[in-house]
Amino acid sequence: MKRKSSLRVQLVVILLAFVAGLLSLVYFVQTTFLDDFYKTNKIKSIENVGRDVATLVGDSDMDETIEHVAMSNEVCIRVVSNNESYSYTGACTLRGLDNMTINRIANEVANTENSEKLFDNFHYQRRPDEKPEDVYIFAKLFEINTEKVMVMVSSGITPLNATISTIKSQYLIIAGVVVAMTIVLALILSRFIVKPIKQINNESKNLSKGAYDGNNVKPSSEEFVQLNTTLINANEDILKAEKAKKELLGNVSHDLRTPLTMIVGYGEMIRDLPEENNEENINVIIDEAKRLSTLVDDLIDISKMDSISVELDRKPSDINQLLTSVYHQYELYCRNQGIDLKLQLSDAIEAELDEKRIRQVLYNFVNNALNYNDKADKQIIIGSEKNGEFYRIFVYDNGEGIDEKDLKNIWDRYYKVDKQHRRHHIGSGIGLSLAKELLLAHGFNYGVDSKKGEYSKFYFDVKAL
Ligand code: ADP
């Protein structure tokens, strides 16, 4: 597998790429558009000042106010009326304009639609020996009591090349600082993320031994708390499974040993005492051998389910026929044992299922119904009933029932309510977890209704074809 770079490196690279992108964007905007921004703002500013001043002309304190406006906006203002003219602010560009130029400007403004005009890049030369200057001039023409008045506002255009180059050199320093800060930030962030991951990774090496210790992990966020909890739970499950496996092995060996002892004992007896060679004794050997065979079959099934998903051979099946056949299987045994076994059928329906597997489920249910019942008047019902849009197939017994707290667990592999091992009449007793796997594979809803000391009713629901 290709080796991946560490989370820390990835985080640094991602953050650096992000910051570099951001810095380039700001750099581009600053150096490319700064000049345009500056010019647009300057023009807007002198236009606004010009319009404001036009409203002030004629006021008694006009001189003072206009002077103030000129100073605070760093512009030059000149108001011309009937050739009488005033200039405001110190070294004002407009002060030196001769009458001819002013008249030229006034004529141009008079020809515009709303009597105002912006002259950009106006070449202005204060004296013949001086270098001409580029200025913006905004001029507005209006009348007060038939007197013609023109307000002119101007501002010099400062070349921004020097500013831009200052920004560029400052930029290098800023970029350096930001990059260094980003690396530090990425390292701090990665510490928060990487440290708990490393701790969890180290601890999880003990998981297979069931020795994961959540206390050795110091989670830095809720997600790590959750991951840690999940692994603590998995660890508990592993320990539980380990314990249950040992228990199961003990039980299975017991189940294997009992029939084997009987087979060997009866075999030897028949060999040594020819008069004991009768049908009854031989049937004991056959029955015990059958029990062994069932046990081995169940063990093979359960080990298969660990490795591959159950493969089903589904076919439309006559439910009543299936239930009747299961009933007949137990009929003789129950009659001999004085057990009241009943068959209770609902509508004749067909459902799609793997008959062999479902038969196995039903055998498990019936075996349990026989095993967990110490009452004198044992009663078992194998049946089906309509349940909404489904048909419920069930095995009912009036046996010892199941405590509510155990109801959820009895389907778990290895779970036994009664920890004391008992010898079952038929089957191995790994039953319900096997039944659960088979019913899940079919996609059938399944469950149990029970009341401790009174009854149990194990069921699953099939859909009629
Ligand atoms: P086992 O029979 O070997 O214990 P199962 O998986 O068949 O294994 O059953 C799990 C547990 O569920 C049993 O130990 C038993 O306590 C309980 N149980 C199953 N069927 C019944 C029943 N019909 N009545 C009462 N308890 C039952």
Give the CATH number for residue 397.
3.30.565.10
Could you tell me if residue 304 is inside a domain?
no
Tell if the pTM clears 0.95, that is, is over it. Answer: no
Residue 309 is given by DSSP the state P
Residue 426 has pLDDT above 50, yes or no: no
Q: Calculate how far, in angstroms, residue 306's C-alpha sits from the geometric centre of ligand 1.
A: 21
Q: Calculate how far, in angstroms, residue 451's C-alpha sits from the geometric centre of ligand 1.
A: 14
Alpha carbons 341 and 425: distance in angstroms, whole number:
16
Same domain, 341 and 196: no
Phi, psi of 123 (to 5 degrees): -75, 120
Q: What is the per-residue pLDDT for 375? A: 87
Same domain, 238 and 318: no
Could you tell me if residue 192 is inside a domain?
yes
Residue bearing the CA closest to ligand 1, atom 18? 368
Could you tell me if residue 298 is inside a domain?
no
Burial of 255 (0-12, 13-18, 19+ CB in 10 A): buried
Could you tell me if residue 129 is inside a domain?
yes
Q: Calculate how far, in angstroms, residue 437's C-alpha sits from the geometric centre of ligand 1.
A: 16
Same domain, 121 and 243: no
Same domain, 171 and 246: no
Pair of tokens at residue 96? 């030196």
Same domain, 364 and 286: no
Pair of tokens at residue 317? 């099946």
Could you tell me if residue 300 is inside a domain?
no
Q: Could you read off the pLDDT of 81-124 as tens digits, one per residue?
A: 865 666 565 557 777 777 888 888 999 999 998 899 999 878 87
Mean per-residue pLDDT, 373-378: 89
Could you tell me if residue 154 is inside a domain?
yes
Angle, vertex CA 47, rays to CA 46 and CA 49, nearest 5: 60
Q: What is the per-residue pLDDT for 89? A: 57
DSSP codes of every residue in 16-44:
HHHHHHHHHHHHHHHHHHHHHHHHHHHHH
Alpha carbons 206 and 275: distance in angstroms, whole number:
62
* CA–centroid distance for 235 within its chain: 23
Beta carbons within 8 Å of 440's beta carbon, 6+ residues apart: 446
Same domain, 227 and 130: no
Same domain, 195 and 270: no
Q: Calculate how far, in angstroms, residue 340's C-alpha sits from the geometric centre of ligand 1.
A: 20
**Of 268, 293, 318, which residue constitutes the final position of a domain?**
293
- pLDDT level of residue 419 (50, 70, 90 thresholds): very low
Could you tell me if residue 245 is inside a domain?
yes
Same domain, 123 and 265: no
Comparing 101 with 161, which gets the higher pLDDT?
Answer: 101
Domain count along the chain: 3
Could you tell me if residue 208 is inside a domain?
no
Q: Calculate how far, in angstroms, residue 251's C-alpha sits from the geometric centre of ligand 1.
A: 14
Same domain, 322 and 439: yes
Alpha carbons 343 and 365: distance in angstroms, whole number:
14
Same domain, 249 and 130: no
User: What is the four-CA torsion angle of 81, 86, 92, 94, rounded to 10 degrees?
Assistant: 20
Identify which of 368, 436, 438 to mutate to test ligand 1's pocket (most ligand atoms within 8 A of the CB).
Answer: 368
8 Å CB contact between 379 and 401 = no
DSSP codes of every residue in 176-203:
HHHHHHHHHHHHHHHHHHHHHHHHHHHH
Give me the CATH number covering residue 235.
1.10.287
Q: Calculate how far, in angstroms, residue 417's C-alpha sits from the geometric centre of ligand 1.
A: 7
Same domain, 83 and 111: yes
Same domain, 260 and 182: no
State the residue range of the domain holding 344: 310-462
Ligand 1 lining (C-beta closer than 6 Å): 368-369, 372, 397, 399-402, 410, 415-418, 429, 431-433, 456
Identify which of 294, 397, 411, 432 to mutate to test ligand 1's pocket (most ligand atoms within 8 A of the CB).
Answer: 432
8 Å CB contact between 378 and 366 = no
**What is the residue whose two structure tokens read 């002077």?**
67
**Of 293, 322, 339, which residue constitutes the final position of a domain?**
293
> CA separation (Å) from 409 to 69, 76, 237, 418?
88, 92, 13, 12
